[in-house]
Copies of this chain bind each other. A is one copy, B any other.
Amino acid sequence: MPKIVDHEERRHRLAEAVWTLTLRDGLEGVTLRKVAVEAGVSMGQVQHYYATREDLVRDAIDRAVRALNARIEASIRATDPASAETMLRECLRAMLARDPESLRLLQLSVAVVGRAISDPAMAGVLAPGGGELLDFTAGLIAAAWQERGAPARGNGLIDADICWNLATSLGVDVALGQRSPDEALRVLDYHLDNLLG
């Protein structure tokens, strides 16, 4: 019937504007007017696509987290699946934001952490994939041991848990600029050398 526009494209453009403003002024500095200017549209249009400012920010953050996950999964799929150890290292390295776009998305993901303490819905977005990811990682660790001819030891699930905690913690450091990606990578590789050796 009436005009037909690409809602997805509109929302993506608005989310991009929110991203830019968030990295520059912080989450609290994101204003409907500033978003409208940044996206080159009227403030009314912003309100047309999001009922409330909260919805706008929430969706923008949600898109950032999903985009980061997509990037991580893509880099994993691009890795040689023949070597479990290579796959394991690549999975964890993906959290270290070694290119500008990943850094941007990682910083945005970190921006939600604060919000999550008083907003359970946001805490859910950050949940680390749940138990399947730990199972998968534990499997990689066991396979890497086998490749190296080392016997299995300890509790693989906890080892996987520790790996992801370390990787995400290093990722946060990188996102906050308190550590260079190279340094984070050295720490991560050191831990994996100990774990697999």
Chain A positions near chain B (C-beta within 8 angstroms): 22-29, 107-108, 110-120, 123, 126-127, 154-155, 158, 161-162, 165-166, 168-170, 172-173, 175-178, 186-187, 190-191, 194
Contacts and interface: CB of A to CB of B under 8 A. Distances in A.
Nearest to A197: B154
Contacts of A108: 117
A127 B177 CA distance: 11
Contact of A194 (B114, B154, B165): B154
Given A110-B117, A165-B173, 6 more contacts: A26-B114, A26-B117, A29-B118, A110-B114, A113-B113, A155-B190
B123 A26 contact: no
21 contacts: A23-B118, A26-B118, A27-B28, A27-B114, A27-B115, A110-B113, A110-B114, A110-B116, A111-B118, A113-B114, A113-B176, A114-B114, A114-B115, A116-B176, A120-B177, A123-B176, A155-B190, A158-B186, A158-B187, A166-B169, A169-B169
Most buried by B among A22, A27, A162: A162
Nearest to A158: B190
Contact of A169 (B28, B123, B165, B194): B165
Copy total for this chain: 2
Contacts of A114: 26-27, 110-115
A123 to B, nearest CB: 5
Ranked nearest first, the 4 interchain pairs of A and B with the lowest CB-CB distance are: A114-B114, A26-B118, A169-B169, A165-B169
Contacts of A107: 117
Nearest to A26: B118
B115 A26 contact: yes
